[in-house]
Amino acid sequence: MAVYLHEEDLPAGVLGSGPIAVDTETMGLLTPRDRLCLVQLSDGGGDEHLVRFAPGSSYDAPNLKAVLADPARVKLYHFARFDLAAIEHYLGVVAAPVFCTKIASKLTRTYTDRHGLKDLVRELLGKELSKQQQSSDWGGTELSEAQREYAASDVRYLHAMHGILVERLAREHRSEAAQAAFDYLPHRARLDLMGWADKDIFSHES
């Protein structure tokens, strides 16, 4: 198992086939203001690939964009809504089709209100994640070993959890509802980018 750091694009041919786990790191939580700094990917084979973008980047990353935009390849996320918005805003592609472990958790783990990645990894896989680097500066000239490990761990376990959550969705007869939610996520992310991030347009409230 290794963590590879690439600058400005993903090298061709480094990922195997099948679903790909995806995550992003940005300068903050306001997508148009807080630039995309890092995209993390894993094909589930044991390695993680981190693609870093420098300040002022043109985000011209043809290999990465091709992988993310591939309609035949499912993208696994935890809280896909945020990552989809960041990827579309900065890279200009819709990184779908989607499976979101956070939504799957909310649909199946109704016995708890703890749906964070750390909680999910602990319960489903019996492993512990460190979140010490969650609020660190991702825009610096160098990424520390701790930052690299944190970023890689965000995609490391998504394949394993995907398999478990698919089974639970089927067991609880919620697979169809989950798929409908996943299909809607790129549109929800686009609404966030358009200014409706904190508004429920389906609500009766004005």
Q: How many CB atoms lie within 10 A of CB 72?
A: 7
pLDDT of residue 133: 63
pTM to 2 decimals?
A: 0.95
DSSP track, 86-139: HHHHHH-----SEEEHHHHHHHH-TT-S--SHHHHHHHHH------TTTTS-TT
- 111 pLDDT above the threshold of 70: yes
DSSP symbol at 10: P
What is the extent of the structural domain holding 133?
3-196
**How far, CA to CA in Å, does 149 sit from each of 1, 132, 154, 164, 189?**
12, 11, 9, 24, 27
- Assign 108 a pLDDT band (cuts: 50, 70, 90): very high
Task: Kindly state whether residue 185 falls inside one of the protein's structural domains.
Answer: yes
Task: Kindly state whether residue 166 falls inside one of the protein's structural domains.
Answer: yes
CATH number of the CATH domain containing 85: 3.30.420.10
Q: What is the pLDDT of residues 129-167, one digit of tens each?
A: 876 666 789 999 899 999 999 999 999 999 999 999 999
Q: What is the pLDDT of residues 89-105, one digit of tens each?
A: 999 999 999 999 999 99
pLDDT of residue 135: 72
Per the structure, the count of domains in the chain is: 1
Q: What is the pLDDT of residues 24-71, one digit of tens each?
A: 999 999 999 999 999 999 999 999 999 999 999 999 999 999 999 999
Residue bearing tokens 């990922």: 15
Tokens of 98: 């989607």
Task: Kindly state whether residue 203 falls inside one of the protein's structural domains.
Answer: no
Cα separation, 176 vs 156, in Å, equals 26
DSSP track, 184-196: HHHHHHHHIIIII
DSSP run (H or E) holding 40: strand 36-42
Q: What is the mean pLDDT of residues 115-139?
A: 89
Task: Kindly state whether residue 79 falls inside one of the protein's structural domains.
Answer: yes
Whether residue 129 contacts residue 117, with contact meaning beta carbons closer than 8 Å, is answered with: yes
pLDDT of residue 122: 97
Cα separation, 42 vs 105, in Å, equals 20
Task: Kindly state whether residue 204 falls inside one of the protein's structural domains.
Answer: no
pLDDT of residue 25: 97
pLDDT of residue 153: 96
pLDDT of residue 82: 98
